[in-house]
Amino acid sequence: MVLFFILIIDIGDAMETETCLNDVFITIKDDTLIIEREKGLLSLGTSDLSGGLGMIKSIVIGGLKSPEDSSPSSLDEGQKGPSNFLEGGEALEPAAVTIGSFNIASSVNVTNDKVTALVMYDESIGLPACVTVLVDEDLDEPALLELFKAAVEGKNAALWDLGMINGLSLDLFDSGNYDSILVACTGFGSSKTGEEADVLRSTVGTCVREATEKLLENFGYPRDVLGYMETVGVTVEDLVYAGMQLCVGVDETPELYDTLRKQLLKSLEDINVVSLIMAGIRLEEDYARHRVRGVDVDDDPAYLYSDEVLGMAVANQIAGTKAVFNFKRYDEEKPGIIGVLGPVLDDVFAGLVAGCMSKIFEE
């Protein structure tokens, strides 16, 4: 059975949440989460202090009040960072310490049998960047390393599932630059082999994946089509500006801008328009990453016209034949944001703008 918990605890209180270990004590003090076990834990992780492999008695996470605080040196005078809790004796030592502006109140905890995964969101980078895994087993070093790898894979799988990793915005390699991942078990023990090892590794990966996905859902993922457009550098306001650049024969009034903006948003509710835009985004990514051997469209070659087919399809879906003719104007002139996009997306968004411009002048 898998248990989900969203942790919303008053500062200074003990955290009432279940984990796979019944002898750990969890508290929050001054924007810092403290997990303690008197008997100690064997841990492997990338903590800022006491990272690597070793025995610890506490895990300390947090310390920065806001995303503007980007490093331990930026702590305000009088603000307690994680290391201060060690100096004050408020956390058992030795401790693995991770410093960041984590949103502790919205953390998600998933427990399944002998594994608990706790995932936190780092507001300074907009990513789930702190993963803590507790395992109710005595393990040897190779087994702990395998579980660490499973935690990394589980987190990246969740980022992939919810569309956060792609070649045009968040790269899989870059997503690991800000990670703090720690796996801790109850102590040294014998190695795990065969089915027992596979089950434990799978459980860790699944718990981290589910906790990360739940956390991201709480922060508005997966994205809507507007969110995906933003990942490739396109906003509705960019499209409004581009559309008005080729508007002739009428006064450019605030009302006209607003009408175009509303039409763009309305058209982006059409599943067919959304499907064509998403197809363009995916195709642009594949071509930009040169994922198809023998295909190179970096220079937007003249023999590539399937991108125009996508653009014309978008325009036609919104306003019919007249929009297809209007598309040619926007495709050739490439006003505003359209002129800086890649060989596929410039035509896709030219079609969106052309279709909406044609639509608002129908009456």
HEC secondary structure over 251-266: CCCHHHHHHHHHHHHH
Q: What mean pLDDT is predicted for residues 225-252?
A: 92
pLDDT surpasses 80 at 216? yes
92-118: pLDDT as tens digits: 899 999 988 888 888 999 999 999 999
Q: How confident is the prediction for the chain on average, in pLDDT?
A: 86
| Extents of the domains making up the chain | 2-218, 225-360
Dihedral sign computed on CA atoms, order 139, 142, 148, 149: negative
Q: Which of 250, 241, 258, 283 is nearest to 361 (CA)?
A: 250
Q: What mean pLDDT is predicted for residues 326-344?
A: 95
Q: What mean pLDDT is predicted for residues 20-28?
A: 91
The topology (CATH level 3) of 2-218 is L-amino peptidase D-ALA esterase/amidase (3.60.70)
Number of H helices, E strands in the chain: 10, 9
Helix-, strand-, coil-residue percentages of the chain, each rounded to 5 = 45, 20, 35
CB-side neighbour CA atoms (13 Å) of 55: 9
256-291: pLDDT as tens digits: 999 999 999 999 999 999 999 999 999 999 998 888
- 69 or 157, higher pLDDT: 157
Tokens of 325: 């003719």
What's the pLDDT score for residue 127?
A: 79
What's the pLDDT score for residue 66?
A: 53
Spacing of C-alpha 270 from chain mean position: 26
| CA distance linking residue 354 with residue 63, whole number of Å | 50
What's the pLDDT score for residue 9?
A: 39
* pLDDT band per the 50, 70, 90 thresholds, residue 163: confident
- Name every residue whose Cβ is closer than 8 Å to that of residue 113 and which is 6 or more positions away in sequence: 20, 203
CATH number of 225-360: 1.10.3760.10
Residue-level length of the chain: 363
The CA–CA distances, whole Å, from 190 to 55, 194, 205 equal 16, 13, 21
Tokens of 209: 């994946």
Tokens of 164: 């956060």
Q: What mean pLDDT is predicted for residues 124-152?
A: 92
Residue 181 burial by Cβ neighbours in a 10 Å radius (0-12, 13-18, 19+): buried
